[in-house]
Amino acid sequence: MSPALLSDDFKAEPYWWEAVPQGTAEPGPLPETAEVVVVGSGYAGLSAAIALARAGRSVVVIEAKSAGHGASTRSVGMIGGRLRQSLAALARAFGAERADALLRETWDAYGWFRNFIRDERIDCDLALTGRLICAWTPGDMAALDKQADLLATRFGIPAQMIDKAGLRAELATDLYHGAMVLPQDGGLDPAKYHHGLLQLAKAAGVTVIEHTAVTGITESGAATRVITERGALTAPEVILATNAYTGRELPWYRRRVIAVGSHMIATSPLPAGTVDRLLPAGRLINDTRKLAYAFRASPDRRRLLVGGRALQVDRVDPIAIARRLKEVMVQAFPTLADAGVSHAWEGRVGFTFDRVPHIGRRGKLHYVLGCNGSGIVMSSYLGHRIAEMVMTGSTTSFFAGNELPSRPYYHGIPWFMPPMTFALSLQDRARSWLG
């Protein structure tokens, strides 16, 4: 008999919500005014709110669902200090000098982020055990080798290569041809981190209004009017931190963020010692497939978590998510064929057309958008930087002042993703056969 796919206690929601359940309290009364209104209560919105409230501003955060209901409590929880784009691609888009500056600022942001967690004593199972970027093909191995050299020599970012035999000591799979090791990367519990930010925001005096969707924003004179489904409030400054959940009420921004569906599963607790055998060094794992997958242990090292990109943005059957990602897991770790899936969930990652995060100001609205899958560090960091822009009118961040691009015929529904994702999955298969 084939093993059951789902455990008896299966839930179609993030594993992380076990430790930090989503809030269900009725929203408090909507204030009529504030000095700053922040739309969205993920890392970006809360980080901006904390910085502003600590500087003495009255701040209201408005969230359509429960606090952190967007991507911020759904992720793999991997952290590091690189951008998704290669230096060459950044140089083509922004010029060599700005590309260098963007990468350096990203690495500095990672240092800022670790200090912030330490200084604020946020209890979020932070573990800097390093990351492996595993090569899907021998060609990927050569590309990673070049990248490791560039990161180490030009940017001082520690990165080393290990071959297939070396990888076997770090990861119990024969699926890959070797890996780049980023020893200073790590992982955390994304929902505990979000909860820590929420506590800091409330302690700083931020008013967080949950279960209240913003339905429109209008500018009139010196103030901006933020209209919600429960009434309106006015503020001289408004920050948009809605990322991949940006809706039709914000059409200009929606045309500039590509919401990419992303899926995850967690296994039931595995027999004692299993995770230590599979991931003896406790690394977090990404791979170089065009449709990349991610693996990590739960912080208590009892479960394996697997993440991968979805074919469509949302409303996917959780059982289909469980089935697909379990196949991916068993392909890498055949000994897990009997493991049950206890949690399967989806979330949205906010990509931009130039694949870099953006902060800026348009009219009276400030925005922080498009963390391109690296938002734990970058949404937090850029939240602080947008707060600086609100307070001083400027910032030295290189993520400000870049054009936030869109494309003709794109109105916020990424119709091109399903065919593109399918094509990428075919490419991965072909690349693995051809070697």
- The contact set with ligand FAD (CB under 6 A) reads 39-45, 62-65, 69-72, 74-78, 213-214, 241-247, 249, 262, 264, 307, 347-349, 371, 373-377, 379
CB-nearer residue toward ligand FAD: 74 or 358: 74
The dihedral of CA 189, 191, 193, 195: what is its sign? negative
CB-nearer residue toward ligand FAD: 57 or 348: 348
- Min separation Cβ 163 and ligand FAD, Å: 26
Name 365's bridge partners.
238, 362
- Min separation Cβ 369 and ligand FAD, Å: 7
> What type of residue sits at position 31?
P
Tell me how far the alpha carbon of residue 228 is from its chain's centroid.
26
CB-nearer residue toward ligand FAD: 137 or 286: 286
- Min separation Cβ 233 and ligand FAD, Å: 12
CB-nearer residue toward ligand FAD: 137 or 291: 291
CB-nearer residue toward ligand FAD: 264 or 365: 264
Compute the C-alpha angle 64/407/357, nearest 5°: 55
CB-nearer residue toward ligand FAD: 110 or 137: 110
Residue with the shortest CB distance to ligand FAD: 375
Q: CB under 8 Å to 22, separation ≥6 — which residues? A: 65, 66, 68, 69, 73
CB-nearer residue toward ligand FAD: 100 or 314: 314
CB-nearer residue toward ligand FAD: 178 or 375: 375
The total of other beta-carbon atoms located within 10 Å of residue 272's CB is 9
With contact defined as beta carbons under 8 Å apart, do 37 and 233 qualify?
Answer: yes
- Nearest to 382, CA basis, from 401, 364, 369, 363: 369
- Min separation Cβ 66 and ligand FAD, Å: 8
- Nearest to 264, CA basis, from 77, 57, 56, 129: 77
CB-nearer residue toward ligand FAD: 149 or 317: 317
Residues found in the chain: 435
Query: What is the residue-wise DSSP string for 139-198?
Result: HHHHHHHHHHHHHHHHH----EEEEHHHHHTT-S-SS-SEEEEETT-EE--HHHHHHHHH
Q: Which long-range contacts (CB under 8 A, 24 or more apart) does 114-117 make?
A: 116/380, 117/188, 117/193, 117/196
- Min separation Cβ 94 and ligand FAD, Å: 21
- Min separation Cβ 64 and ligand FAD, Å: 4
With contact defined as beta carbons under 8 Å apart, do 332 and 175 qualify?
Answer: yes
- Min separation Cβ 214 and ligand FAD, Å: 4
Nearest 10 degrees: Cα torsion 249, 250, 251, 257: -130
- Min separation Cβ 115 and ligand FAD, Å: 17
As a whole number of angstroms, the distance between CA 18 and CA 13 comes to 9
- Min separation Cβ 46 and ligand FAD, Å: 7
CB-nearer residue toward ligand FAD: 177 or 263: 263
Write down the residue that tokens 């299966």 correspond to.
10
> What type of residue sits at position 33?
T
- Min separation Cβ 412 and ligand FAD, Å: 12
- Nearest to 178, CA basis, from 237, 133, 120, 114: 133
